[in-house]
Amino acid sequence: MKKLLFIILVFISGMTSLGLEMCASRLLGAYFGSSLYIWAVLIGLVLIYLTVGYFIGGRLADRYPSAQVLCVITAAAALTTAMIPFISQSVLSWSVSAIAQISVSAFLASLLGTVLLFAVPVTLLGLVSPFAIRLVTSDVKQSGRISGSLYAISTCGSILGSFLPVLWLIPTFGVRRSLLIFATLLFAASLWGLWQIQKSRLLWRPLTAIVQIALIATLFMELGPLKQIPDLIYHQESLYNYIQVTQQADGTRSLILNEGQAIHSIAYADKNRVLTGWYWDYFLAAPYFNKGFTPDKLHRVAIVGLAGGTIAHQFTQVYGPVPIDGVEIDPAIVDVGRKYFGMTEPNLNVHVQDGRPYIATTQEQFDEVVIDAFQQPYIPFQLTTKEFFNQVRARLSPQGVVALNTGHTSTDYRLVQSMVATMSKVFPSVYVLNVPNTFNTVVMATMQPTTIETFRSQLSQLDPTTTMGQVANEVVPVVEIGRPKDGIVFTDDRAPIEQITDQLLLSYIYG
């Protein structure tokens, strides 16, 4: 029986160590995004903590080779894990204020401080494997077999710890409650060793039992939203995002994801209001690059990055019930769009999948493909490469146009130049439209050779009091020919979009 309890403890310890890492990524993602750099910091520091744990665990096991000591270590790891949900929000709130102040040192310190929330429990869990090997190994001739078996048990737990929070715990219970579940299981697996300590004291067993009951009780506590933001009316942790919906006093609703540095969809109380004053409006003008274009010639539109359906609503209002294929990877966002943003247009066909495989496999032909997918502040690299735009080209009609939103700073246009350089390898005409008073640039490319003169001429003929007349007033003054210059051509093999985006952010912060 004792051997079985020991195996269970090793298994749950391995499960908790990976579960902590997966939960840490979600906590960081809600405030810093989920770029390769964030993952590198997270994985690197976790490995450092485990390394320290292995080193200390080996020495401690030789000095105190006792199952009771091991259970004290795992119990301490459980309790420090249980503390994270209750102390993390203050650290993460500090992160928000640091970003708002554009303070590089505070930003890096807050990022490091967030990851350091996991330093103590992960380090303590690192002690388990060497400690367990020392306790079980009595014959040096069997040390290889025993250590291999224990590492296999721990790794099996880690495998479960990598899938369990992603596929079930976090979407069902949220990241903080998932941490509490891991803590509760780990402490429960430690009880058999704790109850063997100082058995003469009648209070010891009741005390550990009370702690276990307290941990179980935390599972049913109301933890509130992961982040405290003004005007919040709904929040949810999904497989892909931390979703937040806000509503202002005038009824305007906004969709905010993860770290909340951008609005991904907007809905006004006035259902007849179409234009937002943001880059979304610009997509409506893209077909006018084609000579002789009239609204009845727009037969089908694809939107990669549907979110809450703002762009789909605009196209429906302006062009009528034109068929729209909206692609959104997160099914929870689709549900939120329908519930809070009126995304119920009968002409909208929603596809819950990644935009790249959708474009590669669909048999539809589009007159416009809009790409507005962000894992803020990054465009998914697979939606920026020459190979992807070749797939888009294959799905466009002869008069088709593709439009994509990207970003820049007041002095750094490297990302825009790279997108222009990449799209110029596929399309004959590429244009850029810098949205005034923002860091957004909309890049448009056409299947046929087109001109700015045609674009301006056709839009200038529209009634300025109509919706498209107002759009014309926005886009005509800012449209320019896209010139590749020294931009990097993104390919599936090399698309350093995150590196360029981070450099833009640092350039802005230092500026």
Q: What is the pLDDT of residue 97?
A: 62
Task: Give the position of tokens 């689709």.
Answer: 334
Whether 117 shows a pLDDT value over 90: the answer reads: no
Q: What is the pLDDT of residue 461?
A: 93
Q: Which residues lie closer than 8 Å to 151 by C-beta, 6 or more apart?
A: 129
Q: What is the pLDDT of residue 283?
A: 97
What does the DSSP assignment read for 58-74? HHHHHH---HHHHHHHH
Look at residue 255 and give its three-state secondary structure. Answer: strand
Q: Kindly indicate the confidence band of residue 471, based on its pLDDT and cuts at 50, 70 and 90.
A: very high
Whether 146 shows a pLDDT value over 60: the answer reads: yes
Is 372 among the catalytic positions?
yes
| Percent above pLDDT 90 for the chain | 56
Q: What is the 3-state secondary structure (H, E, C) of 97-126?
A: HHHHCCCHHHHHHHHHHHHHCCHHHHHHHH
The mean per-residue pLDDT over the stretch 499-511 comes to 69
Q: Are 369 and 394 in contact (CB under 8 A)?
A: no
> What are 68-88's pLDDT values in tens digits?
999 999 999 999 999 998 888
Q: What is the pLDDT of residue 421?
A: 95
> What are 384-440's pLDDT values in tens digits?
999 999 999 999 999 999 999 998 877 778 889 999 999 999 999 999 999 998 889
Strands 301-304 and 324-327: parallel
Q: Which residues lie closer than 8 Å to 20 by C-beta, 6 or more apart?
A: 46, 81, 118, 121, 122, 125, 161, 179, 182
238: phi > 0 → left, psi -120 to 50 → alpha, else beta; which? beta
Q: What is the pLDDT of residue 218?
A: 83
> What are 325-358's pLDDT values in tens digits?
999 999 999 999 999 999 999 999 999 999 999 9
> What are 155-203's pLDDT values in tens digits?
999 999 999 998 889 878 888 899 999 999 999 999 988 888 765 455 6
**Candidate list 281, 325, 372, 412, residue with the active-site label:** 372
Quote the mean pLDDT of the chain. Answer: 87
The dihedral through the CA atoms of 251, 90, 115, 131 has a sign that is negative
Q: What is the pLDDT of residue 483?
A: 86
Task: Give the position of tokens 């390769």.
Answer: 36
Distance of CA 446 to the CA centre of its chain: 31
Lowest mean pLDDT among 47-61, 195-209, 408-422, 478-492: 195-209
Q: Beta partners for 375?
A: 378
Domains and CATH numbers, the chain: 2-218 (1.20.1250), 274-510 (3.40.50.150)
